[in-house]
Amino acid sequence: MFRRKYDSRDVYRLMKDDDLVEGYLTWRLHVVEDALKMIDDSFLWRKEYCVNDLTESCIPKWMFETGAVYLHGYDKEGNKLFWFKVKLHIKDAKTILDKKKYVAFWLERYSKQEPGKPLTVVFDMSESGLSNIDMDFVKYIINCFKVYYPKFLSKMIMYEMPWIMNAAWKIVKTWLGPEAISKLKFVSKSDVQTYISPEHLPPHMGGTDPFKYSYPPLPDDDFQSPISDNGPVVSEEENESKDTEPECKESLDSSFSSDLVIRPKKWVRKPQTTFKGTLINISPAEELSFGSKDTERKCLIILNNVTKNQVAFKVRTTAPEKYRVKPSNTSCEAGASVDIVVSLHGGFQASPQDRFLIMAAEMEQSAGAGSPELAQFWKEVPKTKIMEHRCLIHPQNLLYSTFLLSVCFVHQLMQVMASNCRLEKKLDMCLWVQKVLLVLVSFIVAFSFSALYLMWTS
């Protein structure tokens, strides 16, 4: 029943993703019935808009080119900024469906890149007027955060709202719940920096961000190259500790004998999960785990070339000052593997907001593997031929009780959903019996009146 009503991929994710379930429950104050209603509305919407299958090709190109909606920068709390340039919006019934899918594309894209991370929505209303306000579209945006994406909204910043729009926004407030209203912030140029630092604000808002939207490509994911020494893993471990010299020498010998396969130290734990990509397999599949102990400040990433050609790869991170990656930019022969050691610098702690991006692209057999050749290769390779995979950071000191609580919530939700299914069947049966009884009563009444009429006439 659920698979006919919803997209089976959403049902599967609900059963496997504890954070998703916890998000629905938290957003509905742990009232299971309300959370279940929210899940139902969300899943119906996702199936109607084919959210799981939304790609750039599903959206008209001109919508990307306008730059009316995009993700870029962060607020002071580290939340990604979701920009709406209101002056670029024009109310048009013919394009409203594409606009809604456009917003869904951005939200779904971000939810997959940053699962569980909230967004700060910025409505830039400078130079806008009533002709730019589409109340149906605004209501849809609000529902996206109110129903479809639980716990996604950090705050909603309204920048330089014209006084002529006050009446419209009084209507909008009636669509928001009490918690959402508390997240609504009306700001001007003089106080917008209360929430967003100047380096993430455009010049017309008093900021210093030189970013100018253009398409293609989509706005950058803010990944940067980490501190790295390409080639064998040697120096950092030697400087940090002399106690592991015998083991290190074995690793050094093997790494100098081959620039391709770099053997990690024995105390670097081997990943247990694998992501199978089109060019390379990546282990671990999704998360890098760091702990507080000295022996837990390094992680191993294993890349395995599954093609018949040489593959170039590079690793980028959102926190280049915190991590050292060896190697971060090299190539891998067909069928070979590369071991990458990610080290957390002293004085820094791993954060769930940190991310790593692994990029890979197939090279021609005649291409060189030196640093100049690789640099030139990455400049020329088309974006469509680059495989990208993101890894999140998982600090080991996160409370295990949260996981157990989420499991309980999932179990409870599934029980309620099963109970609702049984109630629906019983309700259908009651309605059927009611219809049968109604027909019988109608027949009896008609028969009685007929009998009385015959008696009267006789």
Q: Each residue of 2-47: pLDDT tens digit?
A: 557 889 999 988 888 888 888 888 888 888 898 899 999 999 999 9
Which of 349, 369, 398 is at the close of a domain? Answer: 398
State the CB neighbour count (10 A cutoff) for residue 106: 20
pLDDT tens track for 394-412: 766 544 444 545 566 666 7
Beta bridge partners of 313: 330, 360
Q: How many domains does the chain have?
A: 2
Q: pTM of the entire structure?
A: 0.55
Question: Of 156 and 366, which is predicted with more confidence?
Answer: 156
Same domain membership, residue 262 and residue 198: no
Same domain membership, residue 264 and residue 233: yes
Instruction: Give the integer Cα–Cα distance in Å for 308 and 365.
Output: 10
Instruction: Give the integer Cα–Cα distance in Å for 163 and 186.
Output: 12
- Is the pLDDT at 292 greater than 90? The verdict is no
The boundaries of the domain holding residue 82 are 49-205
Same domain membership, residue 280 and residue 147: no
- CATH number of the structural domain spanning residue 141: 3.40.525.10
Which of 157, 172, 205 is at the close of a domain? Answer: 205
Rounded to the nearest 5 percent, the helix, strand and coil shares of the chain are: 45, 20, 35
Question: Cα angle vertex 32, ends 29, 33, to 5°?
Answer: 110
Instruction: Give the integer Cα–Cα distance in Å for 201 and 193.
Output: 8
Which of 377, 398, 419 is at the close of a domain? Answer: 398
Instruction: Give the integer Cα–Cα distance in Å for 19 and 38.
Output: 15
Tokens of 241: 């500790």
